[in-house]
Structure 1
Amino acid sequence: MQLAELNVGYALYPLDDPRMSGFMDNLDALNALAERSSGYIWRMKSDSGNATDLAVPGDEAMISNMSVWEDVESLGDYVFNTIHAKFYEKRSAWFENMTRHHFVMWWVEDGHIPTLEEAMQKLAHLQEHGSTDDAFGWDAVDQSAWRRCNIAAE
């Protein structure tokens, strides 16, 4: 089994607004770092090289990021123990504060590439039921063996 993840949000400003430059100007480098990270398998992207221009079913204002990793530890190491963590800390400068779950993980068969529709169903499941075997958040995994940064996980 491999780990799929979806992260969604609403930008505070249009993506070409100068106030979004701290995020947009670093997106390619962060994605390249993910692709070089141990345990990385796949990430959703359009011809632009990222996913910011891919419409989320039922909510075109939403921005999404989806990827597949070998395991939770590989994803967590990238998210919390690389330069990505610094951008994660600054997310409130670029994205609305989400009042519901906006990040979900779930297990997929080896080689399966999830669709955005599938991912949104997993997020809806997490929002409705909380963390289960079918869809879960950081709260459902033991982070003690790999987490070095002290950033609050949602």
Structure 2
Amino acid sequence: MPHLALYTFGVLKSPLADPAPLTRAFHDSGEAIYQRISRHPGYLAHAEAADGEAGSHFDLDWGAWGEFAVPAWYTKGRTVETTALAASLSLWTGLRPAFDAIYTGLHREALNRRYDWFERTEHPNHVFWWVSDGVIPTWQEGVSRLENLRDHGSAPHAFTFRHPFAPDGTPTTIKGIGPASDGGR
């Protein structure tokens, strides 16, 4: 059975190393959010650094998830002191579990504060695609699909909650997801 890959990317207003309270609040909320999401029904896995996160995103060993990559529009730093981004790469059993995890609880509370932390851009901030069972998506694949989404819009190859596709490539709707609902993003 196919699994749903999700890549998210955002450019932060301040580097992750910034000691300001607002940046610390963002950074500190991440661990609790990941713990909660990792227990959500339908969650399978997310990219984690194999070496215990000692370094910048760009220096870490991500194992099967591949070398860390970012979209072409990211122009901020790449060192521990200057990296100003938040990115995730995860696997899900389907759209409904991913939607429910992202738009409820602690993650929903964080989304409500996103403009405190993230720059507003014209670029998409997430992309989905289907992968075969047993396939681990890579950071580079996530970047490629996010850039494809930006350039060509939603399609079976790269899509959003607002315009989702089933594993067979047909457009789909799920209650609360898609153009007819308030919740589809």
Quote the residue 2:86 is aligned against: 63
> Unmatched 5+ residue regions in structure 2?
59-68, 165-172
1:5-154 matched pairs, under 5 angstroms:
5-17=6-18, 18=20, 19-46=22-49, 47-48=51-52, 53-55=56-58, 56-57=69-70, 59=74, 60=78, 61=83, 62-141=85-164, 142-144=173-175, 153-154=184-185
1:73-97: per-residue Cα shift (whole Å, max 9, x none)?
A: 0100000122210101101111111
- Normalised by the size of structure 2, how large is the TM-score? 0.72
Q: 1:27 to 1:48 in 2, by over 3 A?
A: farther
Q: 1-side partners of 2:89 and 2:174: how far apart?
A: 21
Aligned residues: 150
Post-superposition Cα deviations, 1:46-88, rounded to whole Å, max 9, x if no partner, equal 2446xx9423246445431110000010100000122210101
For residues 91-118 of structure 1, give each alpha carbon's deviation from its aligned partner in whole angstroms, at most 9, with x where no partner exists. 1111111211121000001121111011
Amino acid at match of 2:15: P
* Alignment RMSD (CA, Å): 2.4
Range moving further from structure 2, 9-18 or 85-94? 9-18
**Aligned amino acid, residue 24 of structure 1:** H
Gaps of at least 5 residues in structure 1 are: none
Q: 1:82 to 1:137 in 2, by over 3 A?
A: same
Instruction: Tell whether 2:3 aligns with 1:2.
Output: yes
Residues 43, 9 of structure 1: alpha-carbon distance in 2 compared, 3 angstrom cutoff: same
Structure whose alpha-carbon radius of gyration is higher: 2
**8 A Cα contact 1:54 1:63, kept in partner:** no
Q: Distance in 2 between matches of 1:145 and 1:121?
A: 27
- Which one-letter code corresponds to 1:144 in the other structure? K
Aligned-pair CA distance for 1:143: 4.5
